[in-house]
Structure 1
Amino acid sequence: MPDLPAVSQFTALLTELRFPAAAAVALIAGVVRGFSGFGSALIYMPLIASIYDPRTAAVTIILIDLVSSAPFTVPELRRCIWNEVMTIWTVSLIGIPLGVWALLVLDPVTLRWFIAAFVLSALAVLVLGWRYRKAPGFTFTAAVGLASGFGGGAVGIAAPPVIIYWLSRNVGAVTMRANMMVYLALMDITVIALYSYKGLFDVRMAALSILLGLPFIAGVAAGTLWFKGTSDLVYRRAAYLIIALAALVSLPVLDPLLQRSAAP
């Protein structure tokens, strides 16, 4: 782990002209996370990658998300469906390296088009009213975890398969949000361990994570308050919108606009 950042490190980051824009992005991403229980990376990643760079975006969001969301995740531990959350997370550990393998072997642009098309197709089916009527068995639940891990490893999109899984059933907004909060906390811990092993953390990343974490946690608090009293219908519509945004923002055709390279 990196040494603690010095005051000069914070000052240098705060005086950069791009910092206010980054802080605004962190605030909005936090609101989305607090309200829906997921989606912060879908807002944060493409925008912070264009303000700084993809590595900075990936490393800071994982630190910010876990630390800032932890106080709001603890109460959800008693509301989530533990057997499903743990099954999905455990199998996602297999999917993550498979996704990384696909990223290294397959054409990355084709892979991103495929995943975006898959997510949008599944979302369209849900919007049209399809629901999974039976109690999901282990095979179906494990397949969701595999898809989530694969998407996370290949193109950094892990949440849509999981939230679509719960949206496809008659799961209330409170339980759905709790499931996502706990699942993404487990994913954050997993990725932080991998990043630490790869030596991706440094003093600058730590300082920027602290600075952007302040507006992010304010956003999470605001989003959590906003969620209280929200109906299942409103929550579902918000989740549909976030998933659609995730798929659309990940499309390679938007790379020039978001200043990304074609490969994720």
Structure 2
Amino acid sequence: MCIGVAYFGRRFSSPFWSSLGSNFAKVRQDPNVRAVILCSNTRAFTAGLDLKEDSLSLVGADSARSGLLLREHVLEFQAAISKIEDCERPVIVAIHGVCYGLGIDIIAACDIRLCDSKAQFSIKEVDAGIAADIGTLQRLPKKTGNDSLLRELALTARSFGPQEACELGLIAQRHVVEGGKEALMSKALQLAQQIASKSPIATLGTKHLLNYSTDHTVNEGLNYTALWSANALQATDVQDAIQAVVSAKNPKPTNFKRLGKL
């Protein structure tokens, strides 16, 4: 089994976020990868988008043409970040230091969010004169459980720490890690290894069905799951997993077959 680790720098420019999306698309095609850890290789997770970048001031010959160019730019940006959510491998994000603006868009697209005990978050876009437009305002209402707090944070852009992130539902209390970046990465790797030891058919299906259920009714989800399971239950993974459990008091981990290319 293989765990992918994706690193990035402090601020995001167009080449950076574009490559992030393409790399997650490649992960989807790699049959060896069973889980992904997303993290930063700098002193902070990310301070957000590079506000000095030329692409933020795209200008056309007139307002209509300028609007079309800007719309296309935003759609490309959204699609790149959505590649994280669309990646059929579970994605664990490890957050240390500051996570501002685009950082919130990114972590909202991840499956499991871990942070160090000193992390700071901010939905920063209103301070730049815009509404968050790359996924925060679309994903967090569905993934968090405190609408009033979410609206306050999005409208004021104030910074908040792990305690409020837990209150919001952005981070689970058990996923706040003491001990700095090294302890955070150790926890992320431990969790990724645990997930990667499971059947890749089961983990892929679990993520896919959870994502499907986000935008569908319970009955639609149940009907779709029945179709999904009709195929998935034919995998040798099911028999291998059951056999490992019933064959011994202390069953050994099952060495599940890798996925084929999707």
TM-score w.r.t. length of structure 2: 0.28
Kindly name which structure, 1 or 2, has the bigger radius of gyration based on alpha carbons: 2
The answer to which structure has the higher helix fraction is: 1
The answer to which structure has the higher strand fraction is: 2
Q: Of the two structures, which has the highest relative contact order with CA contacts closer than 8 Å and spacing of 6 or more?
A: 1
TM-score w.r.t. length of structure 1: 0.28
